[in-house]
A and B are shown apart, each in its own frame.
Chain A
Amino acid sequence: MILTELVDRMGLTPLTESIGSVPEIEAGYVGDLLSHVLASATPNCLWITIQRHENVVAVAQVAGLTGVVFAEGVRPEAKVVERAQNAGIALFSSPDSSFELAGRLHRLLHPERS
């Protein structure tokens, strides 16, 4: 499913401006331990986390992730958003929990398993 449609249907608030392309989201990952994200998140996925520091952008960039969703109303500082914008990583925020967001994402990506 393309990122823009997913964002709309999940009710996410974009923090970065459009990253230019219309990427396809193939999977999701939930977690707050960065090495686990590097070990297990697959490229072109949407990562849900409550970590909000700058290293999150670096992890997303080296692992080839498409975007990061900050759960539970977590908001990163402006410098983090700027770094993501420059790196071509899309950032989003949501007041909902990681559990709720993961459920919604899974239903959208895998309706046949829901």
Chain B
Amino acid sequence: MNTIYNLLETILPFSWIEYNFMKNALLAVVIITPLFGILGTMIVNNRMAFFSDALGHSALTGIALGAIMGIADTNFSMTAYAIIFAVLLNYIKNKKTLSTDTLISVFSSFSMALGLVILSRGGNFSKYSSLLLGDILSINPMEIRLLCIILIVTLIYWFVGFNKLHSVAINTSLAKSKKININLVEASFCILIAVIVMLSIKWVGILIINALLTLPAAAGRNIASNMREYHLFSLLISVFSGITGLILSFYLGTATGPTVVIIAALIFFITLIIGTVKSK
């Protein structure tokens, strides 16, 4: 880790980089933002924004259940709960008895309320309130390594399964005729999102994780005309808003997550205007 710290100090001659927590935060941002940028492309194309939002909210329940069962590592209980939640949601969605929006809304409210009830028992919810906004400045090197592993897993998934995921997102019947296993593709993508959301939520925050997942991709979509541009724009916008947001929040003394969201949202509006002008 020290070599990386030294390297950062050499290539970035700014005063904020002298703090170790800023170095850690910067590293985390450099890992999380490309991850979210890439993942967001298919969340947006698949119209799964609601889904990832619901997953974020279910984090509280995962922690609560972990606390009840006495599991020390909340990462574990959160991820386990989120995977079950994601698979179940995906299964019920495919039954098509209710509209997906309604269904997800019911699920996530119930799950969140359950988590809040358990955690607020005895009046000590304030212990968990940092989860709402997340705190990227408190990340430690061990956790950065974990994020690194997630990034690698996602990249492997993306390289192996992207075309199938893309085909399923466009039209399930056509994908089926091309012998693509739709259930496997959908379930694995849901699980991937569940794991990523859970393992990054402490740093990003329940309230804003979905904005970070969807805004860069939505902005990229405004100006991209094919998949290559879409990925490139989404990735660049995500990384750019992440790094600028981090630095700005340092100087302004604001919470990092929301600052990043504001920048990403501004970029979204700019691309929206560019896209509208271009298509005329």
Does A associate with B in a complex? no
